[in-house]
Amino acid sequence: MSKPAGLLTHANREGDRSVSGELVVSHGPLPEGDVPLRAGIVHRLDRDTSGVLVVARTQAALESLQRAFRERVVQKTYEGLVAGAPRFDSDWVDAPLGRSPRYPDRQSVLSKEEGREALTYWEVVERFEGYAHLRLKPKTGRTHQLRVHLSSIDLAIVSDPLYRSKGGRPAALPSGAPALERHALHAASLSFPHPSTNAELSFSAPLPADMQAALEWLRSERGRA
C-alpha cells in the first residue's frame, strides 16, 4: 500500500488512527505477532513519511517478511528534499545510531560502542540554489535513520521539526514556496522476495503532490544548480 503522510503505521495507544487499525477494519483480522496494536505490520514508516509499506495478511507471510528485513534482503529507496548543497553527487553515511542522551524521544549519532550500526547511501537527483532532491538507499533500518544521518552531514530534510542541520538552523523552504506541512521524505520503492515462492516483488509509489509542488517551485524560483 501507499501510506499517506500524517497517518501512523501502527497505534501507540488504544484509539490512535493507524494503517494497521484501518486495515483490520477493511480486511478483517491480521496476524498479531508479539507486539500489541501492530497487527500485520512488518516494518514501519514515520507518521509524516509517505510511501510504500508492506503489510502481512497471514502469520506465515509476517514471519517470512520480518526475516527478509532482518537479513537485509529487502531493497528500500526513498526520496527526500534537503536544505543545503551536497559536496558530492553521491556518498555513504556510516554512523552508529541510538537514543539521544539529551532528548529521549529522538535518535542521535553515537560512538560505535554506544550505538547500533547504521548505513545510508545517498545520491543527488537534482540540485537547486540552497536545496537538493536526493535518492536514499538505507542498508539498515534504524529508527529515524535517514533523518538523523542527513542532518549529521548538514543536509537536513526540509520541514523536519526534530532533526536540523548543524547549528540548529531549521530546514525550511523559502518564503513564497508552497506549504509543506510535514518533513519532505517519501518511501518511493520496495523490493523483497515473495513469502511463498521467493520470486522478486517490487512496488513503487509516485512522489506525492506536496513534494512535487515544492520541487516545481524550486525549479522555477531557485533554478537548477
Segments forming the whole domain that contains residue 39: 1-71
Together in a domain, 32 and 101: no
- DSSP, res 130: T
pLDDT of the residue at 225 = 61
Where do we find the cell 529508527?
143
Residue 36 pLDDT > 80: no
In degrees, to the nearest 5, what angle opens at C-alpha 26 toward C-alphas 22 and 31? 75
pLDDT of the residue at 147 = 97
pLDDT of the residue at 131 = 96
Report the distance separating Cα 11 and Cα 51, nearest Å: 18
Domain ends where: 71, 90, 105? 71
pLDDT of the residue at 37 = 76
pLDDT of the residue at 84 = 94
Together in a domain, 82 and 189: yes
Together in a domain, 41 and 90: no
Mean pLDDT, to the nearest integer, of 185-202?
Answer: 96
Domain ends where: 71, 89, 120? 71
pLDDT of the residue at 120 = 98
Together in a domain, 165 and 132: yes
Residue 17 pLDDT > 90: yes
Together in a domain, 181 and 207: yes
Together in a domain, 88 and 179: yes
Together in a domain, 83 and 42: no
Mean pLDDT, to the nearest integer, of 139-154?
Answer: 96
Q: Is 46 among the residues known to form the active site?
A: yes
pLDDT of the residue at 170 = 78
Mean pLDDT for the chain overall: 93
DSSP notation for 176-213:
TSPP--S--EEEEEEEEE-TTT--EEEEE-PPPHHHHH
Report the distance separating Cα 30 and Cα 220, nearest Å: 46
- Give the rounded distance of the alpha carbon of 29 from its chain centre: 27
Give the number of domains in the chain: 2
Write down the catalytic residue from 16, 46, 89, 160: 46
The whole-model pTM stands at 0.93
Predicted confidence (pLDDT) per residue in 86-112, tens digit = 999 999 999 999 999 989 899 999 999
Alpha helices in the chain (DSSP H): 19-27, 59-70, 145-152, 209-221
Mean pLDDT, to the nearest integer, of 151-171?
Answer: 90
Together in a domain, 38 and 130: no
Residue 145 pLDDT > 90: yes
